[in-house]
Amino acid sequence: MSISYYGLQALKLSAESVYSFDLDFHEEGFASPIMQNRLRTLGDIGTNAPENWEWGGNDTDRANIHLLLMLFAKDDANLKQLCETFEKDFVTYQLEQVHEFFTSKMPDAKEHFGFRDSIAQPEIEGYSKKNASENVIKAGEFILGYSNEYNILPESPYAPETEDKKNILPTIANKKGYKDIGKNGTYVVFRQLEQDVKGFWSFIKKATQEVNGYDLERLGAKIVGRWRSGAPITKCPIHDNPDLAQDNDFNYAETDTDGMKCPIGAHIRRSNPRDAFMKEAKKSILFARKHRLMRRGRSYGKLFVENFDLNEILTKPDDGVKRGLYFLAVNANLGRQFNFIQQAWINDGAFQGLSHEPDVLLGSQTEVAEGEKTYFSMPQMPIRQRIETPQAYIHVRGSMNFFLPSMRTLQWIANL
């Protein structure tokens, strides 16, 4: 269960406590400079703008979203039962369900375009079996109350002692007279991303005709950075190797500096540049470690084509069914983690010196709106090839941040 900024107010946290939350978690009306800036930096403009969202896209609807409840069960029957139990509780406790999100089970952990998703996840230090891998990240990057990658405690929301008469909350470091609301809690970014499966693969099909030596699978893999199986193209650039389907043990600096295998602008390379963000690999890793997310996405909507057969996708008429991904990301510092990645790495057409190349999958359409053409280039010997990327095939349909509290904080809130 997680709580929105408006939810904190509805749950009667004091103004001082609400203010103590991450400033990037604070909300105002969409017309405010703060929200306008947030929309710009996240790229939520044009087709991604709030007026096109299915929920939370206008001030009234948004202010009514207080809680995000996520229910998990081992099968449909159990889930149904669980939902019914909660629905009864909603009536008892005068809660109104404002939106409902159904998820679908996807074969081989794939998303709707057919790519295996969620492979590169950070592991938490102290929780992971590995000790000193560059993928093992300090707990404080994902959970409040623990040391982060700067070896300091992340900012945590707090409440005056006087608001915790039953002494439920833990004390907070360096803040006398206050208790820690955040410890063992974190922030969750929740975004609904609608995917246009037919549109995406038709675009790739057309693009294969503009370049030499690429079929659908290979061009798609170049854009994503992984084959649909999940195998990273930096390791198997010419042909898919399903044995590497869940491989996350690779870097770019030594074997793929110029992006000849995995292009600089490929989705996975720009959302986590690993050791190749800067000339010095070690520095790059240290930098990249401070901009990681723990992703827990769930797909929704019926599959467009079973087995993700590309020929069938291209020939079948569009079915008008809405499908996509509920993107869920956990981070302790919204500005430095989610917002940063979205703005500096995904949306930025000049990422690492590229020109007009926002991420093909999730990049913002700011440049297109300005009348610029956008591209995706594939470095190769002796000279690169590039394709035009005229529009987006994934559209934001809702976006909101939530605070995921610890059990203790929930208990404290219940006693307010």
Partner 1 sequence: MIFQSFFTTVSNIKPDKLAELRHLLDNDINADLSNNKYIPFSKLPNVHYCRWCIVDSAKNADGSDAPPMLLFQIIFDGKREAFIKGFLQDFASGIDKIYQYCEDYPTQPTYESRYSYFRKFRRKEPLAWTAVRGGTVEQILKEEKLRRGIEVFLDKNPMQQEQPETIQQRIKAFVSNTPEYQWAMTPPSKPSVVWKLAYYSKLVLLILCGIVLSPLILVFAIFWVLLLLYYEKQDNKHIMPLKRELKPEVLKREDLLRQNQLTEYGTFKGPHWFRYTNIHILLFVSSILGKYKSTKGNLGGIETIHFVSWAIFNKNQNLSFLSNYDGGWQSYLSEFIDFAASVMNLTFGNIKGYPKTRWLLKEGAHEEQNFKMIVRAYQYPCQIWYTAYPKLRVKNILRNAAIRKGLSRKMNTQQLQNWLKLF
Cα–Cα distance between 274 and 295 in angstroms, integer? Answer: 17
We find the least distance from the C-beta atom of residue 264 to partner 1, in angstroms, to be 11
Nearer to partner 1 among residue 325 and residue 378 (C-beta) = 378
Please answer whether residues 21 and 5 qualify as being in contact, where contact means their C-beta atoms are separated by less than 8 angstroms. yes
* Contact between 125 and 137 (Cβ < 8 Å): yes
What is the rounded CA–CA span in Å between residue 346 and residue 229?
A: 23
Q: Does 348 bind partner 1 (CB under 8 A)?
A: yes
Stretch that binds partner 1, among 128-136, 148-156, 229-237, 303-311 (CB under 8 A): 148-156
Asked whether the beta carbons of 101 and 326 are under 8 A apart, the reply is: yes
Candidates 339, 374, 389, 399: give the one binding partner 1 (CB under 8 A). Answer: 339
The verdict on 355 binding partner 1 (CB under 8 A) reads yes
Q: C-beta of 15: minimal distance to partner 1 in Å?
A: 14
Considering the complex, state which of residue 196 and residue 357 has its C-beta at the smaller distance from partner 1: 357
Contact present, 211 and 377 (Cβ < 8 Å): no
Name the segment binding partner 1 (CB under 8 A); options: 96-104, 152-160, 233-241, 397-405: 152-160
CB < 8 Å & 24+ apart, contacts of 9-15: 10/66, 11/66, 11/413, 11/416, 12/416, 13/159, 13/181, 13/413, 13/416, 14/159, 14/160, 14/163
Output 148 or 192, the one with its CB closest to partner 1. Answer: 148
Q: Which of 40, 205, 235, 296 binds partner 1 (CB under 8 A)?
A: 40
Q: How far apart are CA 239 and CA 221, in angstroms?
A: 10
Contact 265, 376 (CB under 8 A): yes
Give, as ranges, the residues between 244 and 303 that touch partner 1 (CB under 8 A): 258, 278, 283, 286-287, 290-291
Question: Which residues neighbour 90 within 8 Å (Cβ) at sequence distance 6 or greater?
Answer: 96, 97
100-119 in b/e form (b: 16+ CB < 10 A) is: eeebeebeebbbbbbbbbeb
By CB under 8 A, tell whether 369 contacts partner 1. Answer: no
In the complex, least distance from residue 212 CB atom to partner 1, rounded to whole angstroms: 5
Q: Does 86 bind partner 1 (CB under 8 A)?
A: no
Judged by beta carbon, residue 187 or residue 304, the one nearer partner 1 is: 187
Q: Which of 213, 215, 319, 416 binds partner 1 (CB under 8 A)?
A: 213
206 binds partner 1 (CB under 8 A): no
Q: To 5 degrees, how large is the angle CA 28–CA 33–CA 36?
A: 85
Give yes or no for residue 26 binding partner 1 (CB under 8 A). Answer: yes
Q: How far, in Å, are 201, 222, 262, 311, 386 from residue 215 at the CA level?
A: 11, 11, 16, 12, 14
> Is 333 one of the binding residues for partner 1 (CB under 8 A)?
yes
Q: Is there binding between residue 398 and partner 1 (CB under 8 A)?
A: no
Judged by CB under 8 A, does residue 147 bind partner 1? no
Number of residues in contact with partner 1 under rule CB under 8 A? 46
State in angstroms the smallest separation of the CB of 387 from partner 1. 9
Among 135, 133, 134, 137, smallest CA distance to 125 is for 137
Strand partners, 136: 123
Residues that bind partner 1 (CB under 8 A): 23, 26, 32-34, 36-37, 40-41, 150, 152, 154-155, 210-213, 258, 278, 283, 286-287, 290-291, 333, 335-336, 339-340, 343-344, 348-350, 352-353, 355, 372, 379-386
